[in-house]
């Protein structure tokens, strides 16, 4: 599937309340969201025909839009229902779900108060974000050149399209240098996240992870923290400086696309694919599977 351009996939896309053929889901070249990044989106996964934490993702889509100064003209319940219906219409059990909302083309310029707010949902089959064989060994991360900005300079609590520009640049640079991804610092020089996933470290049986004060507090991140606590593993959210990486034993990433992915290397620092990372990888895989009702005997 990777060889097929995304605009040439088959099926349907939900767009502004209607199911349209995949090839017909188009916007104008002068769409505000394209020129000025006035767009917010979500990334979700369906497992066994059920979208994991769908309502939580849809609510965050609404919250992100409000941070960018617009209101999505479809309720959380309406978007949830559209996602569920589209998943069935596409005929997939396991799939990736991408809702997006953006300002349209009624005005062109920085100001776009009168622009229509559009909303669309696309669903396609997308396997592991990282190479499965490499994932089991632990992926290698570069250290990104760009840094996560001060929240006073960017809407960091939103999942906004514009915030991913530096992520694309950083991931491209990392891949060009032979890495799978890159670890990003924040504007203070503290460890922040990877280009599209949150980051965790393990030392002496405890998990350490950066406070999400200038980057997204991922839904997968929160899920994995809960899973660790169920195992009575202490999770410490704090500022982490890059020089501390020498003292950590394990490292892993979390995200809808990445799920739980062990890390074996960040620049000059090496990590084991240890038991805590493996356990949480397995626990997350079990957590996302739809719970089957137990038939009464």
Spatial contact of 263 and 138, defined as CB atoms under 8 Å apart: yes
Question: Of 221, 215, 224, whose CA–CA distance to 167 is shortest?
Answer: 215
Extended strands (E) in 8-65: 12-15, 18-21, 39-41, 44-47, 50-51
Question: Measured in Å, how far apart are the chain's first and last C-alpha atoms?
Answer: 44
Q: Which residues contact 147 (CB under 8 A, 6 or more apart)?
A: 166, 184, 185, 186, 187, 189, 192
Q: How far apart are CA 145 and CA 174, in angstroms?
A: 10
Strands (E), the chain: 12-15, 18-21, 39-41, 44-47, 50-51, 95-103, 117-124, 139-143, 181-185, 191-194, 198-203, 206-210, 235-238, 250-255, 259-266, 269-270
Does 89 participate in catalysis according to the annotation? no
Catalytic residue among 159, 206, 211, 291: 159
The two three-digit tokens of residue 9, written as one number: 């996939």
Distance between CA 32 and CA 30 in Å, rounded? Answer: 6
The DSSP bridge partners found for residue 41 are 100
CB atoms near residue 98 (< 10 Å): 18
What's 186's DSSP letter?
B
How far is CA 15 from each of CA 9, 25, 26, 39, 133, rounded to the nearest angstrom? 16, 7, 9, 15, 37
What are the residue numbers of the active site? 159
């Amino acid at each position: 599937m990777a060889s097929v351009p995304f605009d040439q996939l088959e099926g349907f896309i939900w767009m502004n309340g209607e199911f349209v053929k995949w090839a017909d889901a188009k916007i104008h070249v002068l769409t505000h969201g394209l020129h000025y990044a006035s767009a917010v989106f979500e990334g979700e996964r369906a497992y066994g025909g059920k979208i994991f934490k769908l309502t939580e993702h849809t609510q965050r889509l609404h919250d992100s839009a409000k941070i960018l100064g617009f209101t999505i003209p479809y309720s959380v319940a309406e978007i949830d229902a559209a996602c569920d219906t589209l998943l069935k219409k596409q005929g997939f059990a396991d799939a990736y779900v991408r809702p997006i909302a953006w300002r349209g083309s009624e005005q062109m310029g920085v100001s776009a108060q009168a622009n229509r707010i559009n909303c669309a949902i696309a669903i396609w089959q997308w396997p592991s974000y990282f190479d499965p064989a490499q994932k089991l060994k632990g992926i290698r991360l570069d250290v990104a050149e760009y840094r996560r900005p001060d929240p006073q300079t960017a809407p960091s609590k939103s999942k906004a399209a514009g915030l991913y520009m530096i992520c694309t640049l950083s991931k491209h640079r990392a891949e060009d240098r032979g890495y799978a991804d890159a670890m990003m610092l924040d504007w203070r020089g503290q460890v922040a996240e990877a280009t599209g996933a949150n980051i965790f470290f393990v030392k002496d049986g405890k998990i350490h992870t950066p406070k999400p004060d200038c980057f997204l507090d991922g839904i997968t991140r929160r899920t994995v923290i809960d899973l660790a606590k169920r195992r009575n593993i202490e999770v410490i959210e704090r500022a982490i400086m890059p020089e501390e990486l020498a003292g950590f034993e394990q490292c892993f990433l979390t995200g809808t696309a990445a799920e739980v992915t062990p890390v074996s290397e960040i620049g000059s620092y090496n990590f084991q694919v240890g038991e805590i990372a493996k356990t949480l990888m397995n626990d997350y895989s079990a957590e996302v599977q739809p719970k089957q009702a137990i038939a009464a005997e």
